[in-house]
């Protein structure tokens, strides 16, 4: 169960880190030259870059986005968030609204529904950033994470707030039908001061920034596997020792070592498989409780992870059967009957 939960936490964190790029239009992203990722580096493209990209052959749509990390002041606490400035007519905003509508005028914003629930924010109220008040007109779904949250506002208003009219952080580029994203990337790279990325490349670059968060969880997953081997091994070894008399009788009536090994391995496999099934059910229950009690955390239990857990259970069974097999191999029927 612990292996499955830790794997689910890692997958959930990775999905949250890349959630914006994974759910917005386009397959190519244009950033400022020299930018290595969007998670930690600041990218600023000069005015007119969107138009230059739109003129490139093969571009169906160029969507400018301006982003800025800010701190919202909520209940005397500062909440870290990313302001996403976009043009509602072009796209790049919230992909799923749980309540309300998208910004249409002024400083209207859409905040994440999890953030709203944790801090009692309702549609029609205002949130404050650096002395500026932003009316909340909608709640988005799936835009919160364990580290930050996304807040959507019209790009023109974010430009006014940041005092940088006309600037853009990055451009989401959608190719025309039949145009390869790789070819489009190469064409965009010919522009001065611009670096083009395929979306998977940029998402992978963002994930590398947070690799330090994942390593301890992976280490804990490895430790959990070793602990599981020891626990399963102890259970199987104890069961084998307690049934030495029965095994001795079988050897006395002619059962060979291969047959005895098969019995021990079968016992180990059955116990490990039933334990793995129970662990999967418990993992789903605990994951649900985590996301209910701490909604900023996402636990993703994918079929591949469940298969890995079942295979891990099989591996535990095989490793755990080594000591019991050794006991059975050394078992002398005469010694059993002498007792």
Predicted local distance difference test score (pLDDT) of residue 306? 81
Q: What are phi and psi of 179, to 5 degrees?
A: -95, 125
Q: Which two tokens stand for residue 160?
A: 């006014």
Output the tens digit of pLDDT for each of the chain's 339 residues.
677 888 888 888 889 999 999 999 999 999 999 999 998 888 999 889 999 999 999 999 999 999 998 888 777 778 889 999 999 999 999 999 999 999 999 999 999 999 999 888 999 999 888 778 899 999 999 998 888 899 999 999 999 988 888 889 999 999 999 999 999 999 999 999 999 999 999 999 999 988 877 788 878 878 877 777 777 777 777 776 677 667 666 666 666 667 777 777 777 777 777 777 888 888 889 999 988 888 888 888 888 878 877 777 777 777 766 666 666 666 666 555 555
For the entire predicted model, the pTM comes to: 0.79
Predicted local distance difference test score (pLDDT) of residue 254? 66
Q: What is the DSSP letter of 92?
A: -
| Region label for 261, one of left (φ > 0), alpha (ψ between -120 and 50) or beta (otherwise) | alpha
For residue 169, give the 3-state DSSP assignment: coil
Predicted local distance difference test score (pLDDT) of residue 150? 95
Among residues 19, 99, 43, 28, which one has the least CA distance to residue 298? 19
Beta strand 109-112 pairing with 97-100: unpaired
Predicted local distance difference test score (pLDDT) of residue 338? 55
Lookup result for tokens 């992870």: 305
**Residue 337 CB neighbours (<10 A):** 11
**Residue 282 CB neighbours (<10 A):** 14
Beta strand 150-154 pairing with 109-112: antiparallel
Distance CA 94, CA 265 (A): 53
Predicted local distance difference test score (pLDDT) of residue 192? 92
What number of residues does the chain have? 339
Q: Evaluate whether 119 touches 113 at the Cβ level (below 8 Å).
A: no
Q: Evaluate whether 252 touches 331 at the Cβ level (below 8 Å).
A: no
Predicted local distance difference test score (pLDDT) of residue 257? 67
Among residues 322, 242, 287, which one has the least CA distance to residue 1? 287
Predicted local distance difference test score (pLDDT) of residue 303? 85
């Amino acid at each position: 169960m612990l292996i499955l939960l830790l794997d689910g936490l890692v997958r959930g964190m990775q999905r949250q880190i890349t959630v914006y790029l994974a759910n917005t239009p386009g397959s190519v992203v244009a950033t400022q030259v020299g930018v290595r990722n969007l998670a930690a580096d600041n990218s600023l493209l000069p005015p007119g870059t969107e138009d230059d990209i739109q003129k490139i052959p093969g571009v169906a749509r160029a969507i400018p986005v301006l982003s800025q990390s800010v701190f919202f002041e909520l209940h005397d606490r500062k909440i870290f968030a990313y302001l996403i400035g976009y043009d509602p007519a072009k796209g790049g905003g919230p992909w799923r609204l749980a309540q309300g509508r998208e910004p249409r005028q002024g400083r209207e914003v859409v905040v994440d529904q999890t953030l709203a629930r944790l801090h009692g924010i309702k549609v029609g109220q205002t949130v404050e950033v650096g002395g500026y008040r932003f009316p909340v007109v909608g709640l988005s779904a799936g835009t919160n994470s364990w580290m930050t949250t996304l807040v959507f506002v019209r790009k023109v208003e974010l430009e006014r707030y940041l005092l940088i009219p006309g600037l853009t952080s990055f451009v989401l580029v959608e190719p025309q039908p039949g145009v390869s994203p790789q070819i489009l990337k190469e064409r965009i790279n010919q522009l001065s001061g611009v670096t083009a990325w395929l979306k998977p490349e940029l998402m992978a670059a963002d994930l590398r920034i947070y690799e330090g968060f994942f390593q301890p969880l992976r280490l804990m997953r490895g430790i959990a596997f070793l602990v599981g081997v020891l626990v399963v091994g102890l259970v199987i070894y104890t069961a084998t020792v307690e049934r030495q008399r029965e095994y001795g009788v079988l050897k006395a009536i002619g059962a060979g070592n291969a047959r005895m090994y098969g019995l021990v391995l079968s016992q180990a496999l059955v116990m490990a498989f039933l334990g793995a099934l129970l662990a999967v059910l418990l993992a789903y229950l605990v994951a649900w409780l985590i996301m209910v009690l701490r909604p900023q955390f996402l636990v993703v239990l994918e079929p591949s992870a469940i298969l890995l857990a079942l295979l891990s259970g099989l591996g535990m069974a095989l490793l755990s059967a080594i000591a019991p097999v050794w006991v059975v191999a050394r078992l002398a029927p005469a010694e059993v009957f002498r007792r």
